[in-house]
Structure 1
Amino acid sequence: MLLDGARSLAWRLRRHALAPVAGATVTDVVQRVVALRGWPADLADLAIRARQEEPQPGALERALADGEVIRSYAFRGGSYVFTPEIGADLLAARTATRVWQTRRFQQQGGFALDDWEPLRDAVRDALAKGPLTRAELAARLAAIPSLAHLADAASGAGSDSLYKPLHWWGDICFGPARDGQATFRLLEGDPRWPGLPDLDQAGRRAVTAYLAAYGPATSVNLSYWLTEGLSVPGRRVLRWLADLGEAVTAVSVDGVDAYVLTADLDRLS
């Protein structure tokens, strides 16, 4: 099927509540774009307000505090905002390569595989009473003889490589900033958090969500999103796409091969 590029772009702008501005709540906007860069916080808030019919400064922080959306490490090592449901799928996809098991990743953070389960238990215990800063978590670990060697990594050394897998596993996410310092809070046990799903189920939903927001999309677009962004092997991404079967239609947009959700064809053609 042949699609017009200008018409496709106009549809995407409507989908993203940019032309016309049509966003309602923070959750509505975040769902429309799937994942929103979460830092710097003021720019993330601006990205929300730019899409809202009745923008309210600080709405993003309030939505994060209420748990309507969460902020976690995801794409390219950066923090992103998404709904708990979409976040669960994207974070599950991020675990596909099990990068925390590689020697390079362990060396970056100064830890070993045997540290993970005791660390997870210690972090859960430390955050049970509320969010803590990196320095506060580092102090808690320094007081545990078997985990004291992780205190430096817990302070943020190694690009937060100690914390990132805890985000990907759904143990923790970012909490509210305190005196300009980032905090982490427990995600596990949050009633809004669905838990990590099966990897391949999550992957198929992630492809569907991307096509719904950014389609028509090429295989290169999907690779940028899931392979370059979340380190999912390219062959696995293509398998997820193929698994969607008739729910996806191959199209040509101004001569470029792409994919779109079949359910969206009528609005695009």
Structure 2
Amino acid sequence: MDSLVERTVSQGLAGPRGASVVDAVRRVVALQAQDVRANRLAVRARTEGLTRVDVDAAVADGTVVRTWAMRGTLHMLAAEDAPWIVALLGPRFAHGLRGRRAQLGLTDDICARGAEVIAEAAREPRSRAELVDALAGHGIEVDPRTQAPAHLIGYAAMTGVIRRGPDRSDDEPTYVLLEPADPLDEPKALARLAERYVEGHAPATAEDFAAWSGLPLGKARSAFTATAPKHDDPGRTVRLVGHFDAYLLGYRDRSAAVPTKYAKRIQAGGGFIMPAVLVDGRAVATWKRARGRVEIEPFDTLPKGIDDAIDAEIADIARFLADNPA
């Protein structure tokens, strides 16, 4: 089987689709979540019959959680995975941001005291503004016009104190306590993470694992195993994946999936990854929603025989987003 096809099956983008939000998330360990709409679409591409309401419900009831994990960025994880993964990765990224926090006036002492205040306040879901007020009530003034509140909240999340909670009706994020992790020494946690990564991304390398997780290459290599699951050939598969999809962000580079001459169509600059049309794991177009309609922007002539599959994906996106109740 072609290696890219194998990757799509590992990622849940080909073959049988998952039945629940947590199925989709567990499959790849975590899904990018800095963009809530894109996060929902990543679940859609890996499941069957769900809607965006189901994704929001899974977040609201705590089946899945959003928090800062791989590379210190916001991800959605299964609730049982978040504590041990944050315990493994979070402090490393929190330390890496120490200099930026210092620039914002967040000394180590302020961060430690602030995390204690945040922990007390976040026994119930709290917005950023409410956490800033709680900090002020304990003599810790954090200017809400700066990035200081975001960095202090991020510090508390990466050090295992809090996580993102359910969004409020106006899409305002909240923060709640993170359940503590069961004791797990670093070698065991690294081995577990590496094994889970391979299951959801194979074929992949230790270098891919390091790039995805943000771990130093030496640590990634020490834990990595190339043993990959065996999959049945799924046949021709077409998927429309959204911004920041794990398929395009889960490896050291995406040159195998995205032809070099079209690389800037997927990533024009910075870390912004465009939605893509995948045919057997290869990007053949980008897509966007405009005025409630999906518009396909091919790189070149599209492969023959995929029109019906693309139409089916477009219809499923409309259904998922409840544009068409039927």
TM-score bucket of the superposed structures, by smaller chain: 0.7 to 0.9
Which residue in 1 is equivalent to 2:138?
Answer: 144
Normalising by structure 2, report the TM-score.
0.64
**1:112 positional shift:** 1.6
1:212 to 180, 193, 199: 199
- 1:180 matches 2:171: yes
Q: Is the 8 A contact 1:177 1:183 kept in 2?
A: yes
Unaligned stretches of 5+ in structure 1? 242-247, 249-258
Q: Which residue of 2 aligns with 1:78?
A: 73
**Match of 2:150?**
160
Residue aligning to 1:260 = 227
Task: Please tell me whether residue 237 in structure 1 is matched to residue 214 in structure 2.
Answer: no
Correspondence 1:89-128 to 2 at 5 A:
89-95=84-90, 97=92, 99-100=94-95, 104-128=99-123
Q: Provide structure 2 residue ranges, at least 5 long, that are not aligned to the other structure.
A: 234-326
Deviation at 1:143, TM superposition (A): 1.9
State the TM-score, normalized to the length of structure 1: 0.76
More helix by share: 1
CA 1:133/1:71 → structure 2, altered by over 3 Å: closer, same or farther?
same
Per the TM alignment, residue 222 of structure 1 is displaced from its structure 2 partner at its CA by: 1.7
Structure 1 residues 53 and 173: alpha-carbon distance in aligned structure 2, compared to 1, 3 A threshold:
same
* Distance of aligned partners of 1:99 and 1:137 in 2 relative to their CA distance in 1, 3 Å threshold: closer
Q: CA 1:100–1:234 in 2, change beyond 3 Å: closer, same or farther? A: same
Corresponding residue for residue 223 of structure 1: 210
Give the AA of the match of 2:171: G
The separation in 2 between residues aligned to 1:131 and 1:99, in whole angstroms, is 22
Which of 56, 65, 68 pairs up with 1:61?
56
The 8 Å contact of residues 97 and 233 in structure 1, kept in 2 or not, is answered as no
1:13 to 2:8 alignment = yes
1:10 and 1:69, CA in 2 relative to 1: closer, same or farther beyond 3 A? Answer: same
CA RMSD of aligned residues (A): 2.6
Tell me, in whole angstroms, the C-alpha distance in 1 between the residues paired with 2:101 and 2:9: 44
Write out per-residue CA displacement over residues 34-55 of structure 1, whole angstroms, 9 at most, x where no aligned residue.
1101132122112212222212
Contact 2:29-2:197 within 8 A present in 1 as well:
yes
Counterpart of 1:255 in structure 2 is: none
What fraction of aligned residue pairs are identical, expressed as a percent? 28
